Amino acid sequence: MPLVSMRQLLDEAAKGGYGVGAFNVNDMEQIQAIMGAAKETNSPVIIQASRGARAFAQDKYLFHLILAAAELNPEIPIAMHQDHGNSFETCKSAIELGYTSVMMDGSLKEDGKTPASFEENVAVTKRVVEFAHERGVTVEGEIGVLGGVEDGHGAGGTGLEHVTDPDQAVEFAELTGVDALAIAIGTSHGAYKFTKKPDGSVLKMDVLIAIHKRLPNTHLVMHGSSSVPKDLQDVINKYGGKLKETWGVPVEEIQLGIRNGVRKINVDTDNRLAMTGAIRKVLWEQPEKFDPRDYMKPAREAMQKVVAQRMTQFGQAGHAGDYKAVSIVEIAKGYKDGSLKTKPLVAAK
Ligand code: 13P
């Protein structure tokens, strides 16, 4: 299957009442791990690359690795997404390269650190929406500001400093015409999200539910959604790592989100933890090893296991064959004639 529009993938998820994991990649093994899991569970999937990933791997390498994934797995719908674009130019370059979806994170200024005003956010996001929709490409926006820092991008802090205001979310969605909306509900990027199992005082699922009630047809996105499982932390620490005690977003809270309009769930840290633990284990137990394949293979397997588990938990498992790709050209026509602005490609459940 050719790369599909993320809008189609999320509309189908809304119809089926499930969520889709968006997994970050930087290299070949991570892409292979995701595709292995997608094949194993028969799942549609979103593969996403941050600006840092694009710089690390070099655009062409990363893009062609993902094209290889599509070519080798014609039965799996894959959306290729720019994670946290910091400017119009970043999103434009991803679209010109062939990404089928971009995030314009206008919640921060172009430096990727300083919170932007509502007006600045609306202006840059709207500009990206116009450019992207003309080409059939999906746009995710962000209102409110997430905590933490990922690949140098982020305002830092706990995630509670700029929780999304539901009234602003409605205004933002209407003014910009985004296809998907990332909201801030107390989560943050990275391993250190919460100091204990989160409750409603730090993880604002009530805000998410309030936003969904006001915007029932907008696909909501949960960032910073790694669960940071204790068993993955333990493997790292057992083999010489030094992670401090920490908690992520419990899977049952994500599932509550999915029942309330969340269609895209961003996961990066859990995969990083799984790979690092597997590599540490090999090098700790067999210090004589020096062939990268001796530790990259177990690392890839460990990531595949986590991704397959999330695909099952988010409900996307089993849905790869539900639909055929609608071409980006057709999607662009839908944006142009207004039909995709006012209604999804398929009706939600
Ligand atoms: P985690 O750090 O929780 O995996 O979040 C990743 C993310 O939101 C990428 O945009």
Q: What is the pLDDT of residues 23-64, one digit of tens each?
A: 999 999 999 999 999 999 999 999 999 999 999 999 999 999
CA of 174 to the centre of ligand 1 (A): 26
Is 83 catalytic? The answer is yes
pLDDT given at position 35: 98
Average pLDDT over residues 283-296: 98
pLDDT given at position 342: 55
Residue 268 CA: which ligand 1 atom is closest? 4
pLDDT given at position 326: 95
Residue 118 has pLDDT above 90, yes or no: yes
Query: Which residue among 6, 253, 266 is best mutated to probe the pocket of ligand 1, counting the most ligand atoms within 8 A of its Cβ?
Result: 266
**Cα diameter, the chain:** 63
- Tell me the two tokens of residue 218: 């907008």
Whole-number Å distance between alpha carbons of 273 and 231: 10
Whole-number Å distance between alpha carbons of 50 and 164: 22
Query: Which residue among 269, 270, 306, 314 is best mutated to probe the pocket of ligand 1, counting the most ligand atoms within 8 A of its Cβ?
Result: 269
Residue 222 CA: which ligand 1 atom is closest? 8
**Dihedrals phi, psi of 271, to nearest 5 degrees:** -70, -35
Query: Which residue among 223, 262, 273, 310 is best mutated to probe the pocket of ligand 1, counting the most ligand atoms within 8 A of its Cβ?
Result: 223
**Would the CB of 267 count as within 6 Å of ligand 1?**
yes
Calculate the CA dihedral of residues 204, 155, 143, 130 and round it to 10 degrees: -150
Q: What percent of the chain has pLDDT over 70?
A: 96
b/e per residue 40-63 (b: at least 16 CB within 10 A): ebbbbbbbbbbbbbbeebebeebb
Q: CA-based Rg of the chain, rounded to a whole angstrom?
A: 19
**Would the CB of 164 count as within 6 Å of ligand 1?**
no
Residue 22, C-beta contacts closer than 8 angstroms, at least 6 positions apart: 46, 47, 48, 81, 83, 221, 264, 265, 266, 267
Residue 346 has pLDDT above 70, yes or no: no
Q: What is the pLDDT of residues 326-343, one digit of tens each?
A: 999 999 999 999 988 755
- Tell me the two tokens of residue 40: 């194993």
Nearest CA to ligand 1 atom 9: 266
- Identify the active-site residue in 11, 83, 165, 179: 83
**Would the CB of 226 count as within 6 Å of ligand 1?**
yes
**Would the CB of 46 count as within 6 Å of ligand 1?**
no
Residue 349 has pLDDT above 70, yes or no: no
Calculate the CA dihedral of residues 226, 44, 67, 82 and round it to 10 degrees: -40
Residue 252: pLDDT band by 50, 70, 90 thresholds? very high
pLDDT given at position 343: 56
What DSSP element (H or E) covers 294? helix 292-314
CA of 122 to the centre of ligand 1 (A): 23
With 0-12 / 13-18 / 19 or more C-beta atoms within 10 angstroms meaning exposed / middle / buried, residue 39 is middle
pLDDT given at position 16: 97
Residue 347 has pLDDT above 60, yes or no: no
**Would the CB of 24 count as within 6 Å of ligand 1?**
yes
**Would the CB of 140 count as within 6 Å of ligand 1?**
no
Residue 80: pLDDT band by 50, 70, 90 thresholds? very high
**Would the CB of 269 count as within 6 Å of ligand 1?**
yes
Nearest CA to ligand 1 atom 5: 224
Average pLDDT over residues 97-123: 95
Q: What is the pLDDT of residues 165-197, one digit of tens each?
A: 999 999 999 999 999 999 999 999 999 999 999
Q: What is the pLDDT of residues 259-282, one digit of tens each?
A: 999 999 999 999 999 999 999 999
pLDDT given at position 345: 54
CA of 259 to the centre of ligand 1 (A): 20
> Mean of the per-residue pLDDT values for the chain?
94
Whole-number Å distance between alpha carbons of 204 and 257: 11
Q: What is the pTM of this model?
A: 0.95
